[in-house]
Structures are given as C-alpha cells and as structure tokens.
C-alpha cells in the first residue's frame, strides 16, 4: 500500500524507475549460471526440434498430401505427450531428474540420427515418418515434467514467473529461427539437410547436464521413494482435489483444442491454399515465433493492466482472428499477418497458463502436477489436430478454420468461471506441524490400509459452520494421499463427530505428515476455532491373522 501511495504522489519518478525495475526482474533468473547455460543450450536444441517439426510437416505433403495425413504429423507430435505425461510426472518426482533428462537427450539424438540416415537412403514412407515422430515425441513426453520441475530448483521463488517467461521467450526464439531456417536449408540443400542438423542440435544440452552437479539439500526425512503405480494414483488424486490446478486445466483445454487448428493445417495452407514452397511454409512458422518473441517484451506492461484471466481472453480472441485470417489467406501477406497474431496470442496465453500451473504445486508433487498440465495441453492438441484434419477433408481448409475460430470464441464464456492464478499467494512450504504417530512396536512400511480417525466435539449450534470447514479439510486429506474420506455424526451424543480417512499403507501416512503445507495448517486452525477442546487422533492398521510387524 505504501508503494501505491508514493506512485500517486510522484508519478514521474515512478514512471522513470518502473521500466528498469521490470527489466531487472525479467533478467533476474540469468544470474544463475546453470539456468543461463541451460537456456542457451535449450534454444539451440529447440531450433533443431522446430526444424525437424517443420520439415516433417512439409515432407508429408510430398509423401501424401491428404489433409488427414498431414494433420496426423501434428497429432503424432502431440499424442505421446498426452499418453505418457502422467507416468513421466511420477518418474520426475521419484528419480534423479538430471540423470533422467541426460539419458533421454542421448536417446533423442540417436533416434534423430537414425531417421536422417533412413531419409538419406530413400527408405522413408508416410507411416515411417509418423512412427519416428511418435518415437521422438515419446522421449520428449517422458522428459517434459522433469524438465519443468528443474526450473524452480535453479531460481528463487520470486524469480519463477520471470524464469517461466524466459523459457517461453527461448522457445519462441527457436520457433522463429528453426522453421525459417528449415525452409532455407530445404531449398538450398534438399529435404534431408534439416534432419541431419537436428540430429546434433542437442549436444549443448547433453554437455550442460554432464557438467552440472546439483547440490543436494540435506534431507528432512529418510522415507523411501514412492512406488511408480502409487505415485501415479497419488498424482491423480492430488489434481482432482486441487481446485486451482483444475481451473488451469479447464482453461488450457478451451484454448489448445482450437489453437491446434492452424498448427495442424499450416503445411496445407502454405502449399495448396497459397501455392507456396518450403520457404513460404518456413516463413509462416518463423513469423509465429517472431510474433511471440516480440510480444513477450510487451507482456510485463500487459500484466500491469490485465489479470491473467484477461490476458488469456485476449489470447483466445487473437487466436480466433488468426484462424479467420488463415481461412481467408490466398496471398502470403495475409498468412504472415495471421502468423504474427498467432505468435502474440500464443505467448500471452501460454505464459499465463504455465505460471498458473507452477505456482499452485508443492515440491513433492510438482512433476505430477505439471504432467497433468502437459497431458491436457497435448491431449487437446492431438484431439484438435485429428478433428480439424478430418473436417478439412469434407468441407475444405477455409471453412475448417472458420469453424475453429467460432469454437475459440465460444470457449471464452464457457470457461470463464475457472479463474487462473488464484493460488499464487498460498504458502505451499511444508509445515511439519503434525506430530509423529505414537506406536508401541515397529510397523512395516507396507502395512495397510491405514485408517486415521479424528474425533471432534463442537457446540451443536455451530454444526453447519463446522461441516463447511471440515469439507475444506477433506480436500487436504485427499491431496496429501488419502484415497477415501468421510465425516460421521453421532446420533446419541450431540456435537460429537468422527472424521475418517484411508491411506494405502503406513508409509503413505508418514509421507502425508510431510506433505501438509502451511496453507493446510491455516485450514486446520480455522476448523480448530470451532471446536470444544482438542481433537483426538487414532491410527488403525488393517489386521491380518499371523501378521507380524
């Protein structure tokens, strides 16, 4: 409040200093040497990836120009990220992320070299092109949650939005350069050249991860890593019970499902609707990246005037305009204008959605939460690509773009009630305020299921307020590992209630103790203000005959 008052008194001084402060905040993540080197290496690798994607789309128009087959290139690039994102998120939370990414990057290079060699030998068919696209995208899907989970480890929490924005700028720099470079290289050296360049583009990323030795914080506990299947179930339960994350997923679906239209059909727009060559196609893709990069520098000012929800709406409107222009385009100039608007709309929406997903996830489930975001992102892109490619076969490219534009506009009122970044002020640090369970003998880690009961006594007149407060508590229990929850009322004793929740094992309950956040503690404190005395907690483990603990 003090800063706002000083703004009112000295507007000229604030204006003079606001831009340098904004610039310093935007560059803050680059003070970290690892982030800086990794950002540069990633830009180079992404240039190669965008060359591969652009060249693959163009290659398919030569092998089979059917709209559905061309759109399947985009679908093949997106489908693995939909199918494997959640298992990859579970892995990201339970394995060494640096080593995991390093192995996957080496595998990506090997697959890319193999495809380039087969293409040079003349053995590539449409089916083989889709198969290799699926293979590379599968490796990218396995890597994506681990990659996003590393960013908060490199920068301070207050620098996280700037780091996410910097990564988005890096991606769009590569999007501006890669496709345009692919068009030039194809024209000058033939269709195989960009695939060979891509095969070696991630050597810098491999080098940085070989060099980086992450400093490990001293462990606060010595619980073993989660099992893979259990980690996936826990991640799904967490997503289902985190309303802030769910809102981000709904808004993401409403955007990507329709934005996928121009990504999937752009090769055909360039080749058949405009009548251009690989250079025009690369130029259009490059213009999308250029629009995104240029608009990224305008985003800080936009955030001062609009909320994240407003920015996403602007992005959705811009996407609708993009689709209409692509539908009308018969000359490169109109398509270039559409591409620039597409890039601006993409970066505005994507940066808001990414930050909204990042800020509502505690460290222990970050990989799985981001995996759900990736899953929705690319699931929507995959489904949209198939829908728009199939529709284009029957009604043609222009009408398909117009239908997608109408859908993008319709999504705005349909998804408006799900607000973004509503949890950015929540303290998700571990509170560690739950006392350790009292036991008289050792308990096996996999013993279970475990039932925890909490007995409450309240003034009967506070019944409705109590039940409303305890309902909030139910989401905490489920987020942190409980697979079942219920509150019971004693008909014989007024004001006596029994909360119960079930966990898969004793080890999972011990993990639950360490997952409770400071924000969860505030919910418990609010509930405690309505109680008569302290609640009584009991731990029960499923009994089996001849069971020795």
Q: Which domains does the chain have, with CATH numbers?
A: 29-211+229-415 (1.20.1250.20), 450-541 (3.30.70.100)
Q: How many CB atoms lie within 10 A of CB 321?
A: 18
Interior CA angle at 350 toward 515 and 164, to 5°? 55
Average pLDDT over residues 51-73: 86
Whole-angstrom Cα distance, residue 275 to residue 262? Answer: 17
The secondary structure element, H or E, covering residue 79 is: helix 67-94
Q: At 287, is the pLDDT very low, low, confident or very high (cuts 50, 70, 90)?
A: confident
Asked if residue 153 lies in contact with residue 213, where contact means CB atoms within 8 angstroms, the answer is: no
Sheet architecture: strand order including 536-541: 484-489, 496-503, 450-457, 536-541
Whole-angstrom Cα distance, residue 69 to residue 124? Answer: 15
pLDDT of 14 over the 80 cut: no
- Exposed, middle or buried by CB within 10 Å (0-12, 13-18, 19+), for 96? exposed
Whole-angstrom Cα distance, residue 101 to residue 97? Answer: 6
Beta bridge partners of 479: none
**pLDDT, tens digit, for every residue of 359-381?**
888 888 887 888 888 889 888 98
Question: What pTM, to 2 d.p., does this model score?
Answer: 0.73
Beta bridge partners of 497: 456, 489
pLDDT of 58 over the 90 cut: no
Asked if residue 86 lies in contact with residue 375, where contact means CB atoms within 8 angstroms, the answer is: yes
The segment with the largest mean pLDDT, out of 83-87, 383-387, 524-528, is 383-387
Over the chain, what is the mean pLDDT? 83
pLDDT of 224 over the 80 cut: no
Q: At 140, is the pLDDT very low, low, confident or very high (cuts 50, 70, 90)?
A: confident
Is the peptide bond prior to 162 cis by the omega test (within 30 degrees of 0)? Answer: no
Residue 143 makes CB contacts below 8 A (sequence gap 6+) with 88, 100, 101, 104, 105
Across 56-60, 89-93, 236-240, 416-420, least confident range: 89-93
pLDDT of residue 5: 37
**pLDDT, tens digit, for every residue of 102-134?**
899 999 999 999 999 999 998 999 999 999 999
Exposed e or buried b per residue across 42-63, where buried means at least 16 C-beta atoms within 10 angstroms of its C-beta: bbbbbbbbbbbbbbbbbbbbee
pLDDT of 175 over the 80 cut: no
pLDDT of residue 258: 95
Question: DSSP code of 425?
Answer: T
Asked if residue 48 lies in contact with residue 198, where contact means CB atoms within 8 angstroms, the answer is: yes
pLDDT of 280 over the 70 cut: yes
Is the peptide bond prior to 449 cis by the omega test (within 30 degrees of 0)? Answer: yes
Whole-angstrom Cα distance, residue 162 to residue 425? Answer: 16
Residue 189 makes CB contacts below 8 A (sequence gap 6+) with none
């Amino acid at each position: 409040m003090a800063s706002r008052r000083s703004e009112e008194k000295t507007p000229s001084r604030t204006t003079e200093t606001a831009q340098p402060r904004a610039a310093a905040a935007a560059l803050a993540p680059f003070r970290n040497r690892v982030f800086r080197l990794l950002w540069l290496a990633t830009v180079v690798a992404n240039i190669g990836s965008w060359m591969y994607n652009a060249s693959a789309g163009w290659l398919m128009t030569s092998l089979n120009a059917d709209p559905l087959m061309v759109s399947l290139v985009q679908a093949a690039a997106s489908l693995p990220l939909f199918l494997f994102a959640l298992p990859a998120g579970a892995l990201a939370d339970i394995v060494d992320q640096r080593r995991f990414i390093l192995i996957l990057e080496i595998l990506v290079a090997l697959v890319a070299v193999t495809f380039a060699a087969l293409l040079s030998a003349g053995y590539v068919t449409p089916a083989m092109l889709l198969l290799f696209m699926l293979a590379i995208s599968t490796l990218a899907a396995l890597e994506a949650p681990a990659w996003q989970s590393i960013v908060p480890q490199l920068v301070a929490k207050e620098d996280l939005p700037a780091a996410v924005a910097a990564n988005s700028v890096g991606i769009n720099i590569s999007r501006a350069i890669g496709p345009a470079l692919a068009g030039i290289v194809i024209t000058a050296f033939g269709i195989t050249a960009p695939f060979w360049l891509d095969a070696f583009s991630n050597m810098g990323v491999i080098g940085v991860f070989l060099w980086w030795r992450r400093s490990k914080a001293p462990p606060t506990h010595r619980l073993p890593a989660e099992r893979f299947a259990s980690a996936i179930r826990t991640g799904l339960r967490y997503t289902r019970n985190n309303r802030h994350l769910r809102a981000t997923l709904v808004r993401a679906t409403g955007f990507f499902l329709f934005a996928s239209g121009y990504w999937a059909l752009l090769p055909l727009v360039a080749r058949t609707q405009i009548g251009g060559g690989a250079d025009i196609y690369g130029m259009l893709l490059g213009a999308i990246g250029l629009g995104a990069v240029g608009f990224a520098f305008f985003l800080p000012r936009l955030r001062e005037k609009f909320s994240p929800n407003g920015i996403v709406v602007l992005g959705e409107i811009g996407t609708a305009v993009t689709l209409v222009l692509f539908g009308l385009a018969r000359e490169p100039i109109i398509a270039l204008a559409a591409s620039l608007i597409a890039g601006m709309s993409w970066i505005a929406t994507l940066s808001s959605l990414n930050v909204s997903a990042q800020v509502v996830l505690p460290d222990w489930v970050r990989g799985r939460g981001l995996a759900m975001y990736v899953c929705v992102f690319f699931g929507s892109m995959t489904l949209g690509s198939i829908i728009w490619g199939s529709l284009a076969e029957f009604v043609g490219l222009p009408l398909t773009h117009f239908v997608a534009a109408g859908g993008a506009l319709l999504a705005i009122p349909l998804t408006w009630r799900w607000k973004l970044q509503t949890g950015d002020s929540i303290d998700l640090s571990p509170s560690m305020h739950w006392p350790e369970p009292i036991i008289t003998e050792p308990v096996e880690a996999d013993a279970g299921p475990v039932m925890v009961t909490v007995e409450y006594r309240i003034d009967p007149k506070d019944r409705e307020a109590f039940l409303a407060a305890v309902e909030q508590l139910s989401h905490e229990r489920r987020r942190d590992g409980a697979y079942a929850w219920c509150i019971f009322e004693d008909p014989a004793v007024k004001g006596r209630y029994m909360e119960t929740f079930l966990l898969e094992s004793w080890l999972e309950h011990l993990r639950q103790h360490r997952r409770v956040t400071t924000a969860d503690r505030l919910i418990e404190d609010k509930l405690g203000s309505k109680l008569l005395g302290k609640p009584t907690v009991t731990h029960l483990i499923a009994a089996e005959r001849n069971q020795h603990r």
